[in-house]
Structure 1
Amino acid sequence: MLEGIRIVEIEGIGPGPFAAMMLADLGAEVITVQRPGGAPLPGMPLRNLLDRGKRTIALDLKDPADRRVLDALIARADGLIEGMRPGVMERLGLGPSDCHALNPRLVYGRMTGWGQTGPRATEAGHDLNYIALSGALWYASPPGQPPITPPTLVGDIGGGALYLVAGMLAGLIGAGRSGRGTVVDAAIVDGSAHMMALVMTMQAGGLFRTERGQSILDGPHWSRSYACADGGFFSVQALEAKFYAEFLRILGLDDDPDFARQNDPATWPRATERLTALFASRPRDHWAALFAGSDGCAAPVLSPAEAMADPHLAARSTWMEMDGMMQPAPAPRFDGQIPRPGAAPGRDAHRAEILAELGLS
Structure 2
Amino acid sequence: MAGAGPLAGLRIVEFAGIGPGPFCGMMLADHGAEVIRVDRASGGRGGSQPISSKDVLARGRKSIALNLKSEEGLALARKLCASADGLIEGFRPGVMERLGLGPDVLLADNPKLVYGRMPGWGQTGPYAPYAGHDINYIALAGALAHFGRSGEKPTPPINMVGDFGGGGMMLAFGMVSALLNVARGGEGQVVDAAMTDGTAVLMAMIHGMANQGIWREELGANLLDTGAHFYDTYETADGKFVSIGSIEPQFYAELRARLGLAEDAEFDAQMNPAGWPALKEKLAAIFRSKTRDEWDALLEHSDVCYAPVLTMSEAREHPHNVARAAFVEVDGDPQPAPAPRYSGTQTAQPAAAPMPGDDSDSVLADLGLSAEEIASLRGAGAIS
Q: Which residue is 1:354 aligned to?
A: 363
Q: 1:345 aligns with which of 354, 363, 371?
A: 354
The offset of 1:261, in angstroms, is 0.7
Percent of residue pairs identical: 51
1:215-226 alignment to 2 at 5 Å?
A: 215-218=222-225, 219-226=227-234
Partner SS state of residue 119, structure 1: coil
Q: Distance in 2 between the 1:225 and 1:138 partners?
A: 20
Whether the 8 Å CA contact 2:233–2:241 is kept in 1: the answer is: yes
The offset of 1:338, in angstroms, is 6.8
Q: Which residue is 2:3 aligned to?
A: none
Q: Which amino acid aligns with 2:157?
A: P
Whether the 8 Å CA contact 1:21–1:52 is kept in 2: the answer is: yes
1:252-271 alignment to 2 at 5 Å?
A: 252-271=260-279
Q: Which amino acid aligns with 1:72?
A: K
Q: Which amino acid aligns with 2:52?
A: L
Structure 1, unpaired ranges of 5+: none
Partner SS state of residue 138, structure 1: helix
Q: 1:16 aligns with which of 5, 14, 21?
A: 21
- TM-score, normalised relative to structure 1: 0.97
2:151 matched to 1:144? yes
Q: Distance in 2 between the 1:255 and 1:75 partners?
A: 70
Whether the 8 Å CA contact 2:52–2:353 is kept in 1: the answer is: no
In structure 2, do the counterparts of structure 1 residues 59 and 338 end up closer, same or farther at CA, with 3 Å as the change threshold?
closer
The offset of 1:43, in angstroms, is 3.6
Q: 1:250 aligns with which of 252, 258, 277?
A: 258
2:191 matched to 1:187? no
Whether the 8 Å CA contact 1:46–1:347 is kept in 2: the answer is: no
- Listed one character per residue, the Cα deviations across residues 117-162 of structure 1 (whole Å, up to 9, x for unaligned) are 0010011111111101111112211111111133111110000001
Whether the 8 Å CA contact 2:40–2:356 is kept in 1: the answer is: no
Q: Which residue is 1:213 aligned to?
A: 220
Whether the 8 Å CA contact 1:317–1:338 is kept in 2: the answer is: no
Q: Which amino acid aligns with 2:60?
A: G
The offset of 1:320, in angstroms, is 1.7
Q: Which residue is 1:87 aligned to?
A: 94
Partner SS state of residue 9, structure 1: strand
Q: Which amino acid aligns with 1:59?
A: L
Partner SS state of residue 126, structure 2: coil
Q: Which residue is 2:48 aligned to?
A: 42
Judge which range, 295-304 or 212-221, deviates more. 212-221
Over the residues paired in the alignment, what is the CA RMSD in angstroms? 1.4
- Listed one character per residue, the Cα deviations across residues 55-106 of structure 1 (whole Å, up to 9, x for unaligned) are 0011111111111211111111000000000011111111110111111110
1:145-160 alignment to 2 at 5 Å?
A: 145-160=152-167
Q: 2:318 aligns with which of 310, 335, 338?
A: 310
The offset of 1:340, in angstroms, is 2.2
Q: Distance in 1 between the 2:240 and 2:365 partners?
A: 55
Q: Distance in 2 between the 1:59 and 1:179 partners?
A: 31
Tell me how many residue pairs correspond in the alignment: 361
Q: Distance in 2 between the 1:338 and 1:240 partners?
A: 36
Q: Distance in 2 between the 1:309 and 1:102 partners?
A: 49
Q: Which amino acid aligns with 1:255?
A: E
Q: Distance in 2 between the 1:309 and 1:323 partners?
A: 18
- Listed one character per residue, the Cα deviations across residues 279-315 of structure 1 (whole Å, up to 9, x for unaligned) are 1222222212211110001111100110000000000
Partner SS state of residue 340, structure 1: coil
Structure 2, unpaired ranges of 5+: 1-5, 375-384
Judge which range, 316-325 or 242-251, deviates more. 316-325
- Listed one character per residue, the Cα deviations across residues 235-259 of structure 1 (whole Å, up to 9, x for unaligned) are 1111100000001111111111221
Whether the 8 Å CA contact 1:243–1:296 is kept in 2: the answer is: yes
The offset of 1:206, in angstroms, is 2.8
Partner SS state of residue 190, structure 1: helix
Q: 2:338 aligns with which of 330, 348, 355?
A: 330
Judge which range, 151-160 or 280-289, deviates more. 280-289
- TM-score, normalised relative to structure 2: 0.91
Whether the 8 Å CA contact 1:51–1:344 is kept in 2: the answer is: yes
Partner SS state of residue 12, structure 2: strand
Structure 1 runs, 4 residues or longer, greater than 6 Å off: none
Q: Which residue is 2:33 aligned to?
A: 28
